[in-house]
Amino acid sequence: MPATKTHVNVPRPYALLAEVTYRCPLHCPYCSNPVAVGSAVLSGEHVAQPSPAPNALSRLRIATARQGRAAHATANDGELTTDEWKRVIREAAALGVLQIGFSGGEPLARRDLTELVRAARDANLYTNLITSGIGLDDDRVCDLRDAGLDSVQLSFQSDQPDLSDEIAGAHAHRRKLDVASKIRAAEIPLSLNFVIHRRNIDRLPQMIELAETLGAERVELANVQFYGWAFLNRAALLPTYEQVARAREIATAAKARLAGSMEIFYVLPDYYESRPKPCLNGWGQRYLTVNPIGDVLPCPTASSAIPDLRFENVRARGLDWIWRESESFTRFRGTEWMPEPCRSCPQREIDFGGCRCQAALLTGNAANTDPVCEFSPNRASVDAVLRDVSSSSDHARKWTYRVNPKLLAYL
C-alpha cells in the first residue's frame, strides 16, 4: 500500500461507550465483557472448573462470596477516577461525540455515576444508562434524572422470575420489576434490553409483553453475539435454526403490531446469516469505547478478541490522537486493509467485511473476512458450530457464569 496512509478525511465519532467498571452483581453467561482483563487473569479456579451444575445458584453464591471477599480490598484498583472520566467526556465531546452510553459491568457500582452523567450533560451529550438496575433506589433514580439522564436501558434476562434468576446467577428479576416502575415514576424514558439465547428465545412473545406491561418506549431483542463470556459459553447459548426462524417471525409481527407505540429493535443472530453484520458501521468510523482502566477501543470486545492489537490509554494519550492516529484505530479503518474476497466485493462499503473480533476469534486473524460471510473461505467454521447445535436437542447444556475480574492497576 502507498505510504500515504494519511489521516485526512478521518471521520468524527458519534458515540462513546463508557465502560465505567467491570464490576457487576449479576453473572450472566452471555456477557460480552472480557473473560480476563489485560494481564489481570481471573483466578483460574472459576474459569477452568466445569460449569456450575444442578444447584448452580447456591454454588455460585459461594463462589462469588469468596470472590467478593478477595476483590473487596482492591475493588477500584485500576479504574479511572472521577476526574479522569470527566476529562475523557470533555475530550470525546470536542471530537464530535453526541451520545454517551454508561455501561460496564454495572455502571451503578460506581458511586460517582451521577457526577459523570452531569459532566456528560454539561458537555451537551445525550446520556444513556445501560444497567441491570441493581442498586437503583428511589434517591438515585431522582439524582440521575436531575443530573440530566436522558434514557435508561434496563436489562432483563427473560419474563419469568425463576428462569431470569437462573440466567443472571442472582436473585434479580423482582428487583428489576421494581426498578422499572421507579424509572417510570421518575419519567425517564425506558428501554428494555433482552439478550436472546437458546434458553430464553422461546419466551420472546412473553418478553415483548413484559416490555409493554412495564410501559417501555423501546425494547431491544438482541440475539446473543459471541464475544467474551458468551464465546466461552457458545455451545450452551446458540439457539437452533428452528428457534431462530420462529423468533424472527415473532419479532417481525410484533414490530408491525406495535409501530408507533413501542419501538422494537431486533438484533439478528449473525451465525445464521449469510452476510456479515456491518459491525460498528466500519472500524473507527463512528464509535469508540473507553474501558474501566482507560484503554480506548474501537469496539468493546476488541481488547479480548484481538490480543495482537496494542490499545492506547487515556492516561498516556489524548483521545483525539488515539482516534485519528493510533495503530488500533487506523489498522482496519476504511477498505485498504481488506483481503479478498472483501477487497473486490461490491458490499465492501456496506458491511465493511463484517466484524474484526469475530474474524479473530473464529479464524485466528482479525484481518480476515468475517467467516459468517458466505464468500469467506472460513465459512465452514461457522457451519460446523451450527451443525453441532442442530444435532443436539439438549436445551439445558451447561454454561459458566461470569465472575468479576480483578483489575490490575495500569502500569
Partner 1 sequence: MRFIMLMAANPISDATQPRIAKGVRLQVDSATGKTVLLFPEGIVELNETAQEILSRCDGRTLSEIVSDLAEEYDADPATLVADVRETLADLQQRKLIELT
Give the binding site for partner 1 (CB under 8 A).
Answer: 12, 14-15, 96, 98-99, 101, 124, 126, 128, 150-151, 153, 187-189, 191, 217-218, 220, 259-263, 265, 281, 286-287
Give me the residues paired with residue 152 across strands: 129, 190
Rounded distance, CA 238 to CA 372, Å? 14
- Measured from the CB atom, the residue of 220 and 370 that comes closer to partner 1 is 220
Beta carbon of residue 152, minimum distance to partner 1 (angstroms, whole number): 9
- Measured from the CB atom, the residue of 99 and 114 that comes closer to partner 1 is 99
Rounded distance, CA 103 to CA 354, Å? 24
Beta carbon of residue 191, minimum distance to partner 1 (angstroms, whole number): 5
Beta carbon of residue 273, minimum distance to partner 1 (angstroms, whole number): 17
- Measured from the CB atom, the residue of 188 and 345 that comes closer to partner 1 is 188
Rounded distance, CA 205 to CA 219, Å? 12
Residue 223, φ and ψ in degrees, nearest 5: -60, 140
- Measured from the CB atom, the residue of 94 and 380 that comes closer to partner 1 is 94
Instruction: Indicate if the alpha-carbon torsion angle 48, 54, 59, 61 is positive or negative.
Output: positive
Joined together, the cell numbers standing for residue 41 give: 487473569
Beta carbon of residue 14, minimum distance to partner 1 (angstroms, whole number): 6
Beta carbon of residue 306, minimum distance to partner 1 (angstroms, whole number): 21
Beta carbon of residue 189, minimum distance to partner 1 (angstroms, whole number): 3
Beta carbon of residue 154, minimum distance to partner 1 (angstroms, whole number): 11
How far lies 197's CA from each of 7, 116, 230, 237, 301, in Å?
41, 33, 10, 5, 19
- Measured from the CB atom, the residue of 265 and 321 that comes closer to partner 1 is 265
Beta carbon of residue 246, minimum distance to partner 1 (angstroms, whole number): 25
- Measured from the CB atom, the residue of 93 and 373 that comes closer to partner 1 is 93
Rounded distance, CA 51 to CA 342, Å? 39
- Measured from the CB atom, the residue of 281 and 392 that comes closer to partner 1 is 281
3-state secondary structure of 85: helix
Half-sphere exposure of 68 (CA within 13 A, CB side): 10
- Measured from the CB atom, the residue of 16 and 63 that comes closer to partner 1 is 16
Rounded distance, CA 239 to CA 306, Å? 26
Strand ranges (DSSP E) for 268-399? Answer: 287-290, 296-297
Place of cell 447444556: 397
Residue 324, φ and ψ in degrees, nearest 5: -80, -40
Rounded distance, CA 79 to CA 82, Å? 9
